[in-house]
Amino acid sequence: SWDQSHLNYFARGKEYKNLSFEKFQDKIFEIENDSGDVSGIPGLENGKVLSIGWWANNALILGFQNGSVIIASLPDMRNILGDSPETFKSCYEITCQCNNCFLVIEHEVKSIRARVHGGNIISYSRAQEEDEMEDDGFEDSTSQMGRLMSAITNSLHYVTDTFLWHFENDFSTIRGRFITISKRTFQLNRICKILPQDLLCRKISALEYDDALVIAKTYSLDTDIIYRARWEDAEVSETAIHDYLDKIHDKEWVLAACFNRITKNPQIIRLLLCYGLDHTDILDEILDNDNVSATDNLIKQKLRENPLEVDSDVQKFLNNIELSEKQKTFCKCRYYFLKYLDRLCTYERIVEEKTRRDIENGSMDSLEENGGWITFIDYNATFAEDYAIFRDVHIAAQAMDFAADEFFNGLSVLFTRHGDEMLPYRFTILEQIPETADPDDYESFLPRVGSNDGAELSECLWHQEPWRVYDWVENPILKKQILQEEPEEWDFDGILMKSVPYPASSSYITQWYIDRAHKIDNSSGQVDKALSLVSYGIKKNVKNLETLEEDLHMLSQLVYECYPSSNDKIIMTLNEFEALTEEEIIQTFLRHTDETRIVNDIRLYIIPFLKLLPERRARKAELIDKNDKYLHPMDLLYKYILDLSSSHLDWCCLLFEASKPTITSEELVITSDEDLAN
Least confident of 340-349, 351-360, 563-572: 563-572
77 pLDDT tier (thresholds 50, 70, 90):
confident
Of all residues in the chain, the percent with pLDDT exceeding 90 is 40
Residue 543, pLDDT above cutoff 90:
yes
Residue 300, pLDDT above cutoff 90:
no
CB 258, CB 330: distance < 8 Å:
no
Nearest to 53 by CA among 4, 11, 13, 94: 94
pTM: 0.74
Q: What is the pLDDT, as a whole number, of residue 422?
A: 95
Q: What is the pLDDT, as a whole number, of residue 196?
A: 86
Q: What is the pLDDT, as a whole number, of residue 627?
A: 47
Q: What's the mean pLDDT when you consider all of the chain?
A: 82
Q: What is the pLDDT, as a whole number, of residue 374?
A: 55
Q: What is the pLDDT, as a whole number, of residue 631?
A: 62
- Mean pLDDT across 342-358: 95
Q: What is the pLDDT of residues 164-192, one digit of tens each?
A: 555 444 444 445 566 788 888 888 888 88
Burial class (CB in 10 A: 0-12, 13-18, 19+), 55: buried
Contacts with 246 (C-beta within 8 Å, 6 or more apart), sequence order: none
Ranges of each domain in the chain:
1-137+172-193, 275-429+462-486, 434-455+503-579, 591-678
- Mean pLDDT across 576-587: 92
Residue 276, pLDDT above cutoff 60:
yes
**Three-state SS at 92:** coil
CB 282, CB 326: distance < 8 Å:
no
Give dist(CA 101, CA 305) in Å, integer. 66
Q: What is the pLDDT, as a whole number, of residue 267?
A: 96
CB 559, CB 527: distance < 8 Å:
yes
Q: What is the pLDDT of residues 92-110, one digit of tens each?
A: 778 777 777 888 888 888 8
Give dist(CA 454, CA 447) in Å, integer. 19
Give dist(CA 5, CA 21) in Å, integer. 9
Residue 379, pLDDT above cutoff 70:
yes
Nearest to 651 by CA among 641, 661, 660, 659: 641
Give dist(CA 613, CA 74) in Å, integer. 116
Q: What is the pLDDT of residues 590-623, one digit of tens each?
A: 888 888 888 888 888 988 898 899 898 888 765 4
Q: What is the pLDDT, as a whole number, of residue 380?
A: 87
Q: What is the pLDDT, as a whole number, of residue 170?
A: 46
6/138: higher pLDDT? 6
39 pLDDT tier (thresholds 50, 70, 90):
low
Burial class (CB in 10 A: 0-12, 13-18, 19+), 214: middle
- Mean pLDDT across 236-246: 94
Cα 316 vs. chain centroid, distance in angstroms?
A: 39
CB 122, CB 174: distance < 8 Å:
yes
